[in-house]
Chains A and B, each alone.
Chain A
């Protein structure tokens, strides 16, 4: 199970669900989650975003320790859920029906 750097132990309850390495996994998790679940994650993680970015910027991006990499993945998920939480009030983009757009190439980190 992924674990986070010690200063971010308060976000550990979200690690198992939201520390996901790829956009595909994060998008799928968003669609599989309820608004309550995403709101709870957002409310916990958003106030920690600035501190998390400052923490991660101590390390070169291509040499993040494992726990820092997991924190990075958690922040990617926070970005992902910000749309349902801040904009749509529902997991899926309204009126997007059957449309899908899949990430097929992503940078290594």
Chain B
């Protein structure tokens, strides 16, 4: 019942033979030991997206980012020369967290000329140099040049700011590879009307990526969000993607979606008909865009959205009506993480356009709440280990690849250690 062509091998999964087709062991999502290794092997060694350059519009703008999984907090700022930099958020004197307000574990942002420690008043220039020590003469042979802020690798791709704890990491653009190269030129910088949501989720971080890198679930889990006739049609039809691509540790899924605007308005809910918007976004496109080659790679006329996963935890979704959103999944333990999403639109010129964006955001949250609650249910049961292996279908190729990639990073890291770490309970 194929609706869209698959590769000549007969399936997307077999097109990438290294991925395999066997049932998948989910131990990587329930083992505390594996999670500790993921922190070292993945989150301390790969490029992590911490936000957009629009948050640092002017010199002196800064924000902090809590990176539990990488074992640190970073300050990201634009210095006096306009360069974007990142530092570990720690004072060189006695280790106080340098930038925070009221609650040390909450993120903050603002504008400053220099950074002053709350504790003893040490001050740092925006390039990280220590420029003032309170009662400097009390110290013993202290040379301020030796006590600058500890830098973190920081590079920007298409306005997305990334950090990497590994000083020897390959350059960001090389790491992001061909999928990212194929996205270059998309006008992310024009989509500055941002709605950000945050949730604490009771599951391993990879389980939420699983939920957003397949749409096999969509006609079932989200059945009631469509009008009844449409919902029945969608379930009979099932779900098939237009295309999948795997590129190094990264992947993408290209999806159809004819809801923006729908062919037949009776397919959608009353509010959508009047506001002219919905899950796929406002029906009336704010700008014209020549899509870069990585977007809608099948060049299919029914294309609706592409989901890119840049390993480990950054997803970028490009929608046909010319807007985008990001997902981030920040592990806080083996079975908890913080989920963040930002929906980014061309700034609305009229109230009508603004309301259409509001409906897209509210709709996103309705779907997200259904997706999010399913995860806790999954996590709690796979932790029982009554069932250990799960059959993933061809529309779940990106999940298979994600878990395989995470396991491979851990295996490579473990092998690189002089004394191999014993992993208990990993088969």
Contacts and interface: CB of A to CB of B under 8 A. Distances in A.
Interface size, B (range): 35 or more
Contacts of A107: 193-195, 347, 354
Nearest to B359: A79
Nearest to A81: B271
B198 A61 contact: no
A88 B194 CA distance: 27
Contacts of A53: 274-275, 351-352, 355
Given A56-B352, A101-B368, A79 B362 contact: yes
A47 B259 CA distance: 23
Interface of B is mostly: helix
B383 interface: no
Interface string B220-248: 00001100000000000000000000000
B369 A106 contact: no
A49 to B, nearest CB: 5
A99 interface: yes
A101 B197 contact: yes
Interface of A: 23, 27, 46, 49-50, 53, 56-57, 59-61, 64, 72, 75-76, 78-80, 82-83, 86-88, 93-107, 109
A63 to B, nearest CB: 11
Contact of B274 (A49, A97, A104): A49
A98 to B, nearest CB: 7
Contacts of A104: 196-198
Nearest to B363: A83
Contacts of A103: 195-197, 361, 365
Contacts of A75: 351, 355
A6 to B, nearest CB: 17
B44 interface: no
A41 B353 CA distance: 23
A50 B199 contact: no
Nearest to A68: B351
B351 A56 contact: yes
Nearest to B374: A95
Given A53-B352, A72-B351, A96-B373, A102 B198 contact: yes
A83 B366 contact: yes
B270 interface: yes
Contacts of B351: 53, 56-57, 59, 61, 64, 72, 75
Given A46-B271, A99-B199, A94 B355 contact: no
A88 B372 CA distance: 17
A100 B271 CA distance: 23
Interface string B344-364: 000111111111001101110
